[in-house]
Amino acid sequence: AQKVTQAQTEISVVEKEDVTLDCVYETRDTTYYLFWYKQPPSGELVFLIRRNSFDEQNEISGRYSWNFQKSTSSFNFTITASQVVDSAVYFCALSEFGNAGNMLTFGGGTRLMVKP
Amino acid sequence: GAVVSQHPSRVICKSGTSVKIECRSLDFQATTMFWYRQFPKKSLMLMATSNEGSKATYEQGVEKDKFLINHASLTLSTLTVTSAHPEDSSFYICSARSRGRSNQPQHFGDGTRLSIL
């Protein structure tokens, strides 16, 4: 069975601070995908990144970066120089490749509040 | 890019009313659509997987007679909350996966906020 844990339920930072959101996952599959989604107050889910289990390269996209460590089953997300617009709930999710339809299992989410 | 349209975005209705939510893939065919439910300040929980032309697969604990899912075409899945009660108030989100593109991320609708009075 797959499981995703986001231990931080809420994080509050001041604008321009860097912040890391943790994500730890459990799966028995050797082939799987990891995702991060952003959910602003309006409710829609915004896709941020997908990483497959064979690609442990870290990725950087603007102020966002992701650190995938298979050895610790973690897929952490860092926002550099945070901005007020980054305030949202962020979800980490896992999809096992062999899962019918590739259903997603979401972590509990981390609410990020960036204060001016 | 691919877009999923979910309608309506918000529903407020009386207890006992049945509510239908539509999920459409606008520029791709979706053999599989997923329905999620999100309580306030909680994560998204998968309710059911909807496959075109066949019965939906419901997650444990989800009442199939309460949440009717129909996936009659490759671009449309509907979720009907039958005889809704206040405890059914929630945020419902659908997602769709492109046909033949199992290695692509799902595309999410913008969600439906359901409030039962």
* pLDDT on residue B32: 87
pLDDT of residue A98: 64
Tokens encoding A88:
């949202």
Residue-level pLDDT at A96:
84
pLDDT given for residue B76 in this prediction: 93
Q: What is the Cα A25 distance to its own chain's centre?
A: 11
**Contact call for A104 and B91, based on CB within 8 A:** no
* pLDDT at A101 (0 to 100): 54
Q: What is the pLDDT of residues A14-49, one digit of tens each?
A: 999 999 999 999 998 888 999 999 999 988 899 999
- List residues of A whose CB lies inside 8 A of any B CB: 33, 35, 37, 42-45, 47, 50, 91, 100-109, 111
- Write the DSSP symbol of residue B59: P
Of A45, A101, A111, the CB nearest to B32: A101
DSSP-assigned states of every residue in A29-66: -SSEEEEEEEE-TT---EEEEEEETT----EEETTEEE
Q: How far off is chain B from A116, nearest CA to CA, in Å?
A: 23
| pLDDT recorded at residue A40 | 93
Pairwise CB contact (< 8 Å): B43 & A43: no
The shortest C-alpha distance from B117 to chain A (Å) reads: 21
Distances B84 to A43, B38, B112 between C-alpha atoms, Å: 22, 16, 14
Please tell me the predicted confidence (pLDDT) of residue B31: 82
Question: What are the DSSP calls for A10-27, one per residue?
Answer: EEEEETT--EEE--EEE-
State chain A's mean pLDDT as an integer: 92
- Mean pLDDT of successive 10-residue segments in chain B (117 residues)? 86 96 91 91 92 88 94 91 96 86 76 95
The tens digit of pLDDT for each residue in A56-111 reads: 888 899 999 999 999 999 999 999 999 999 999 999 999 987 665 568 899 999 99
